Amino acid sequence: MRLTLRQKLVIWFSLAFCGIIAGFGILVLRNNGDRYQQQSYAHCRRIVQANIDLADNYFEQLSNVVYIVVSDQDIITSVNYRMNNPDVDYSIELYNQRKVEAKIKQFDVLENVKNAIIVGPSGEYLYYYGASLVQGYAFDEQPWFMEATDTNRMRFVNYHPTDYLLNGSEKQTVSLVVPILNASQYFLAETAYLLCDFSLEPILVDPGRDGEVQIAVYNGKDPVHIPSQLALADSQLAELSKHIEEGKHSFVLDACRENRSSYLVVNDTSEISGWLILGIMPLDSIQELRSANRVFVLALMLAAFVVVLGVSALLTRSVLVPMNALIQKFNAIGRGEKNVCFKKTASVEVDLIAETAAQMLKKNDQLTAEIVEESKQRVQAQMRALQHQINPHFLNNILQSLKALAVCGDTEAISKVATLLGKLLTYSVYDPYDMVPLAREFEYTGTYIALQNIRFQNKILYTVDLPEAAEQFLVPKLIIQPLVENAIEHGFISSEGGRIILSADLDEKEMYIAVTNTGRVIEAEQVERLNCMLHEKKADAQGTSIGMLNVLARLKSCFGSGADLRVMSRDGMNTSIVLTLPYGKEG
């Protein structure tokens, strides 16, 4: 499909600017997306660092209080007494319990410590502070306790059951386990341990609204604390543990079938507890921001696209309106209109083209007038030359006839020939280049045939079939006579005579004039050869087609390329030369 210049300008202008706008929009979307993720990462990192600072501060306070307690001489003495005296003196033990209780009460300065328990080497508790314990509970049978005491140093214990409490069989807690030292800061031969249960949740920063950063705690790859608000799927938990085990400090948990939310995870290590503090932030809010930003940018792009279309339409209109007016002027020139005026426009370029076109039109008119005049003179010269080619040939034949009559002494025939010749010369000499009615041309041709009958002893019969509607059709002078002469010379030269029929007919478009003779019939091959030579403007070797070539040339000069001359022959009957003239274009 071919496009107009306006369509091309609008399309290319719009595509170029829309491409720029689209590129800018993509850059904005990408930049905003990266910026949102960076801001989310920074926010998550700040939350994690704040929790690490808060947790480390609390763990440091807890460690200081614990070391004060386990290093207290009253604690060491009381524990040593219980360990070395199977038979306990209850008065001494009651005294020791009061001293131990007074020392353990130092944990009151830390609000989150729930229980403090001194566990002896046998795995049974010796002293406790807080909730009541299950009598005879064996701590040395608990894996979490044995793992915490295998190095004889301070250890933070992950969430573990609190079934050693009377009302804590279904609860879990985190704890700090510390060996109790003697007065010389050496471990006792059989070590006792101080077990402190504390709440982890109050230590962590409250993340606030749903969808904000949630804090989780991991001990290596095992979870210590995962917020209940996080509905992570099993596959996401497995992926989380895998990334932590690989040592990654920030990563994204992809959405899965069970949980359509993805999460940004940032983690760092607590220097005191050794636990990993994880900030887990749902990316739903970021996706919503990205979607809103995408809609906003797309709306801006659409608005810009509409504006660009409007501006491009206005710009192309300002260019193409004067251009279209100029094209209409050119079309008028193409239709042959002469009085075409170019008006001034607001476009300098269009005015320059119009001025150039006006100059070209003026020059073209001058050249056309010169060419027409030269062509007219050339056609007139050609017609005169053709006319002069006809007259000498005709006169030569007449003179030969007069010579023959003079030799025979036929004065009557000579007188008749002279009279007829006078009529012919009068017709041909005066205004020989005029157009005459077809009826007059047929009358002249009849005079010519009468003149030839003197030569052929009245053996040539002559018939005219001219409709009244064709009588005034204008034709060049002496256009029929050469064809009749050709018919006589080549059709009756060796015969006993014959008939010549002059006929005419016309339809809505063309006039048909036929010269038919019943003399010698031309064979079909020769007819075809003659017609080919006529249309190729060539004469045959015998010169039989020169007269017809001259007639055809004169007809085309007068009637244009639509004029035609064709030879037709019917075996055993007659030969015709048919002239075809465009009707209504004569004279």
pLDDT tens per residue across span 327-377 = 777 787 777 776 777 777 766 777 777 778 777 777 877 887 778 777 666
Convert 351-387 to b/e letters by CB count within 10 Å (16 or more is b).
Answer: bebbeebeeebeeeeeeeeeeeeeeeeeeeeebeebb
172 within 8 A of 150, measured Cβ to Cβ: no
Write down the pLDDT at residue 539: 61
CATH architecture assignment, domain 71-203? 2-Layer Sandwich (3.30)
CATH code of the domain made up of 372-582:
3.30.565.10
Task: Judge residue 577's burial from the number of C-beta atoms within 10 Å of its C-beta, 0-12 exposed, 13-18 middle, 19 or more buried.
Answer: buried
Supply 307's token pair. 């504006």
568 within 8 A of 527, measured Cβ to Cβ: yes
Write down the pLDDT at residue 557: 83
The Cα–Cα gap between 180 and 60 comes to: 18
Write down the pLDDT at residue 275: 85
Write down the pLDDT at residue 389: 46
**CA dist 114 → 33, 138, 194, 196, 200 (Å):** 46, 20, 13, 8, 11
The tens digit of pLDDT for each residue in 129-181 reads 888 898 889 999 999 999 888 877 888 888 888 989 988 666 888 899 999 87
Write down the pLDDT at residue 443: 92
Residues of the chain predicted below pLDDT 70? 1-10, 13, 29, 32-34, 36-37, 168-170, 182-189, 205-211, 221, 285-287, 289-290, 319-320, 338, 346-347, 375-394, 397, 431-433, 493-496, 538-545, 571-572, 584-587
Domain boundaries, the chain: 71-203, 372-582
Q: Which residues pair with 252 in a beta bridge?
A: 264
Task: Judge residue 56's burial from the number of C-beta atoms within 10 Å of its C-beta, 0-12 exposed, 13-18 middle, 19 or more buried.
Answer: middle
250 within 8 A of 259, measured Cβ to Cβ: no
For 159-187, what is the HEC assignment?
EEECCCECCCCCCEEEEEEEECECCCCCE
